[in-house]
Amino acid sequence: MNKIIQLKDLGNKDYKATWEYQEELFKGIVDLKIKNRREETNLETPNYFLFVQHPHVYTLGKSGDLSNLLLSEKQLEAKGATFYKINRGGDITYHGPGQIVGYPIIDLENFFTDIHKYLRFLEEAIILSLHEYGITCGRSEGETGVWLGAGTPFARKICAMGVRASRWVTMHGFALNVNADLGYFDNIIPCGISGKAVTSLNVELGVERVNEEEVKEKIRKHFSNLFNATFDKSEIVNQQSKI
């Protein structure tokens, strides 16, 4: 089993271009698994982890409700935002500057074959990272992601999650608000959950800006520990010219 994960930092990248790149990596792993099965070979499958930030964009999961987008096409254009209906789980969410997005594209058969455990580990990597900043956070029963004040009238979501998996290969992932413009969340019913607020790490810490590279390093460390994996950082430099 290959427990090495190739880490790629894409910098600031268009959502559609990144989605297509995810699909390319995803298909490469799935095709290799099919080849192994058909030809009775045992070729090692690769694993990837993409860090990226997107220009303003709203995405709707395959089971999401379009009515949770509160903007018309013209209003989207006026805000400089785009919209995509995509093939992950979950409802609607927002991506934009100041938000760290992580897309693990991994073969779970290299680690464990349990989607529920995979989602919980994704949440745990974020929870442990935020704990390093003195942030008390955790899970909210029946609601994927990472929350502050769960179960109270002050519940607020700091990290959204939505994944797709086929043949135990994952794609899509998480979006952690670090220095996000929370005003963009006013244009949707985030994750289809009414009456719940969203927050950002800089807001919770009461600072203007948090070092995003430092946050990414903490996420990488905890993800690596949870999955008992090793990151290959040889391609951590900006990959924009390659996709």
Q: Is the dihedral of CA 59, 65, 70, 71 positive or negative?
A: positive
Res 56: pLDDT:
93
Q: Is residue 191 annotated as part of the catalytic site, yes or no? A: yes
Q: How confident is the model at residue 193 (pLDDT cuts 50, 70, 90)?
A: low
Average of per-residue pLDDT values in the chain: 91
Q: How confident is the model at residue 240 (pLDDT cuts 50, 70, 90)?
A: very low
Res 131: pLDDT:
98
Catalytic residue among 160, 191, 198, 229: 191
Give the closest residue to 202 by CA, choosing from 214, 192, 210, 212: 210
Q: How far is CA 85 from CA 17, 41, 53, 224, in A?
A: 14, 37, 18, 31
User: CA–CA separation, 200 vs 66, rounded Å?
Assistant: 25
| Res 211 pLDDT > 70 | yes
Res 91: pLDDT:
79
Mean of pLDDT values over 172-185: 94
Q: Can you list the positions of beta strands (E) in 28-111?
A: 48-53, 57-60, 82-85, 92-95, 99-105
For 30, phi then psi, to 5°, come to -60, -45
For 11, phi then psi, to 5°, come to 70, -140
75-121: per-residue pLDDT in tens? 888 888 999 888 887 778 899 999 999 999 999 999 999 999 999 99
Q: In sequence order, what DSSP letters do the residues of 149-188 get, joined into one string?
A: STTSTT-EEEEEEEEEEETTEEEEEEEEESS--GGGGGGB
Q: What angle do CA 47, 49, 50 make, to 5 degrees?
A: 140
| Res 242 pLDDT > 60 | no
| Res 234 pLDDT > 80 | no
Mean of pLDDT values over 4-23: 96
User: CA–CA separation, 109 vs 43, rounded Å?
Assistant: 13
Q: How confident is the model at residue 202 (pLDDT cuts 50, 70, 90)?
A: very high
112-167: per-residue pLDDT in tens? 999 999 999 999 999 999 999 999 999 998 888 999 999 898 999 999 998 999 99
Give the closest residue to 173 by CA, choosing from 149, 151, 146: 146
Res 195: pLDDT:
64
Using an 8 Å Cβ cutoff, are 161 and 177 in contact? no
Q: Where are the alpha helices (DSSP H) in the chain?
A: 15-39, 73-78, 115-131, 201-205, 212-227
Res 40: pLDDT:
94
User: Where is pLDDT greater, at 178 or 191?
Assistant: 178
User: Where is pLDDT greater, at 4 or 74?
Assistant: 4
